[in-house]
Amino acid sequence: MRLATVIGFLCVVTAFTPASAAQESLADGAEFSQYKGRITGLSFQNVPIRRALFQLANFYGFNLIASDSIEGEITIDLKEVPWDQALALVLRMKRLSGRLEGNVLYVAPTQEIAEQDFLDVQAAAQAEALAPLLTEFLQINYANAGDIMQLLTGVGAKGGRLTAPAQGGVASRINQGLLSPRGSASVDPRTNIIIVRDTAEKLAEVRQMLSTLDIAVRQVLIEARIVNVETNFGRELGVRWGLGGSAGKTRFGGSQATTADLLSSDFAVADARAQAAIAGEAARLDALQGDTNPELIPAIAALARASLPISRSVVSFPQALSVDLGVADTEASSFAIGYARHSALIELELSALESSGNGEVIARPKVTTQDKMPALIQSGVRIPYQSQAGGAAGGSTTEFEEAV
């Protein structure tokens, strides 16, 4: 047997793997569920398992600690397998397990590692039970302290409970959550402050949670238009089509101004001039035909050059702005389908609606809410009605019902 041990050998068919690559491979698959090592071939014949493990560690450049309780020999012949898979097979054959701590692999019998893990858990629990309790006042800047409290203490989860309200309007809550069994927390809704009493380790976890959750949330502006219109005009709202042609050019669905011009950065100025024309200042729009000012908005200049039918009170639709669907002025025939996505186009349409006497804009309500939070805009009336009270005394009360 001793002779066989002496002549035991290790054969590796691969290039040397750098230490950093070997450690990365172990770190990526500490439980050996993924094998990323280089392909290799191994041959052991009656080699003590401890010696085989250290030979693998020395050749592949990773740090290894082997338990003194590892005994026995191994005979194995592997060809073209990842080296980390070969290591996992060796451990499995001898009922061994590995624990990767940093860049050091600790190998011991599975039962021994399980017992060590249990002792570590007990030691951590004892240390937490003896650790001093600290108190910290945490200011919540953006979120609601009550909502953060629910996440912190896990109120509503299994085992959660509420303590009696404290004096001064401070509600105290205790739960396991992120807190230790000895920890407690309370919230002051007036100042939006959470008061946490726990160990230093748990307080650090709470601060880490707040740095992630207590952040500014984007706001969303929701704006609406409440309009009273005639039935026929209401049917016309939406996508409008126009047809025009001149000098052999055929253009379907567009005016001389293009959608790109209308949606340019200067569209706010163009919108103001167009609304002025719609309001009855058609002469001002006519004067634009001879204007050579370089700051003249392309959309309005094109609108003036198009000689569109403009009355003294309203620009004729659909020949004006809202029908522009992005058709370029080319010699060949062209076809375009588009939509008006700019809110200013809707304003122009509604302004034309009011100017022509076909309707009236009743209200322009708007509401601001936080991102992913519901908001509501309602239009209606509250209708009063009397309700009869029960019992011998009788009597009636006036209540209101919303009709929206």
Q: In the chain, where does the domain assigned CATH 3.55.50.30 lie?
A: 2-113
Q: In whole angstroms, what is the distance from residue 9 CA to residue 347 CA?
A: 87
Locate 251 and state its tokens.
């253009």
pLDDT of res. 51: 86
Taking a C-beta distance cutoff of 8 angstroms, is the pair 252, 336 a contact? yes
Average pLDDT, integer, range 155-184: 53
pLDDT of res. 69: 86
- Predicted TM-score (pTM) of this structure: 0.41
pLDDT of res. 236: 55
Closest C-alpha among 143, 133, 141 to residue 185:
133
Order of strands across the sheet that contains 134-139:
134-139, 193-198, 184-188, 171-174, 161-162
Q: In whole angstroms, what is the distance from residue 335 CA to residue 351 CA?
A: 28
Decide which of 388 and 74 is more confident.
74
Residue 30 has pLDDT above 50, yes or no: no
**Residues ≥6 apart with Cβ < 8 Å to 75:** 44, 45, 46, 47
Residue 369's alpha-carbon distances to 33, 125, 146, in angstroms, are 47, 45, 19
Q: pLDDT of 79-96, one tens digit each?
A: 888 877 888 888 888 888
pLDDT of res. 140: 92
Decide which of 3 and 51 is more confident.
51
Residue 145 has pLDDT above 50, yes or no: yes
- Give the architecture-level CATH label for domain 134-213: 2-Layer Sandwich (3.30)
Is the sign of the CA dihedral 200, 201, 204, 206 positive or negative?
negative
Encode burial over 127-148: b for 16+ CB neighbours within 10 A, e otherwise: ebeeeeeeeeebebeebebeeb
- Give the architecture-level CATH label for domain 2-113: 3-Layer(bab) Sandwich (3.55)
Encode burial over 41-70: b for 16+ CB neighbours within 10 A, e otherwise: ebbbbebbbbbbbebbbebbebbbebeeeb
Decide which of 292 and 373 is more confident.
373
Q: In the chain, where does the domain assigned CATH 3.30.1370.120 lie?
A: 134-213
At 370, give phi and psi (nearest 5°): -80, 155
Q: pLDDT of 84-128, one tens digit each?
A: 788 888 888 888 888 888 888 889 998 888 898 899 888 888 888
